[in-house]
Structure 1
């Protein structure tokens, strides 16, 4: 049995309650799974519940996966200069939309939001390191470990991913092909490193961030 991952910068429950208490009457938005999150240059989004996939399109029309935003993490155009930036709800989501001008006018709010930006920055940096690994097998392992440690839910056999990413999503994140990801996922299942639960969610049996230190 693995203990639940701990958020480093703030108490998740207290942070969420504070944001909802102060802003839900004007800014709380519910989006169903598969919905596109509307992005505005003057607003920042914060995930209260659910998971959002962040991505972009290249000039050749290829899809890129830039990361995920989970509970108490922020995203939006003010935090990205990537062309054709997009955000898609991977599950039913509750989001907070906060205008940038309100953040400027509230030092307390700005300080709280800094921790959400730090969480996303930490993930983005780690994802870049994973993509830089030479062997594709280690990229897939490192990516799944990142998701398990950041978002995994403790279960009998390890950490369960709360959302289902397609093999194409993983390929887009790791600069490889869907066929390659499918092959490696099969190998990890054969090794017992990965399991599928009854809801067909991936379970990491030995989630840890150790692979990068080997290279």
Structure 2
């Protein structure tokens, strides 16, 4: 049974604090970058640290990026109709597992989950808008700006993407080939729109907008 706390409705920045209060002593589960995260029909995960890639597979075997779950964002089979649906740690992550019944029994927790699902909805709409562009270069620029907003970290040079995405992952997200993405990344570097740091992370320069 859930404990009851006299707390305000959680903002977008403190769902993790609410979870810590509600579930003191519950261990987080850690996954290394590249690990698949198990999904079940009656459980959701909440990201406490790191970034998780959400995706599906077409009949052809090609993978499609559905979104990224970052700090405080929930994901899991109860929150989607997509099948197959899979989750992979893009970076090292710490996650909290909740049963769907726990969410239903706590109005405060359910409202916190709803707020972060709204973040996911805005992200999904941005992805849908992105794939509508005919030019592959435009799709790539919009994807990188979306990633800048979702997982960007300010640096003296610009905004560094905190996760290291492969050219194949970027290609899957915008419906093109790895070779094309490699060519476009080189083109954007030559234009001064982005750079690659010594850890192979993409850094978008201050005027990298669309």
Instruction: Give the TM-score normalised by structure 1.
Output: 0.88
The aligned residue for residue 30 of structure 1 is 30
Whole-Å Cα distance in 2 between the matches of residues 187 and 166 of structure 1? 17
Deviation at 1:142, TM superposition (A): 0.3
Distance 1:207 1:105 in 2: 46
Paired with 1:197 and 1:67, the residues of 2 have a C-alpha distance of: 24
Instruction: Tell me how far apart the structure 2 counterparts of residues 45 and 175 of structure 1 sit (CA, whole Å).
Output: 28
Structure 1's unaligned 5+ residue stretches are 1-8
| Equivalent residue pairs, number | 201
Asked if the contact 2:90–2:163 (Cα under 8 Å) also holds between the matched residues in 1, the reply is yes
Would the aligned equivalents of 1:27 and 1:97 in 2 still touch at CA under 8 Å?
Answer: no
Map residues 85-164 of structure 1 onto 2, 5 A cutoff: 85-164=85-164
Q: State the superposition RMSD in angstroms.
A: 1.6
Q: 1:39 to 1:191 in 2, by over 3 A?
A: same
Using the size of structure 2 for normalisation, the TM-score is 0.90
Confirm or deny: 8 A CA contact 2:65 2:172 kept in the other structure.
yes
SS in 2 for 1:203: strand
* Structure 1 or 2: more helix by fraction: 1
Contact 1:162 1:201 in 2 (8 A): yes
Structure 2, gaps ≥5 residues long? 1-9
**Which deviations, in whole Å up to 9, do the C-alpha atoms of 1:60-105 show, x marking residues without a partner?**
2111111111111111111111111100001110011111111111
Q: By how many angstroms is 1:11 displaced?
A: 4.5
How big is the shift at 1:24?
Answer: 5.4
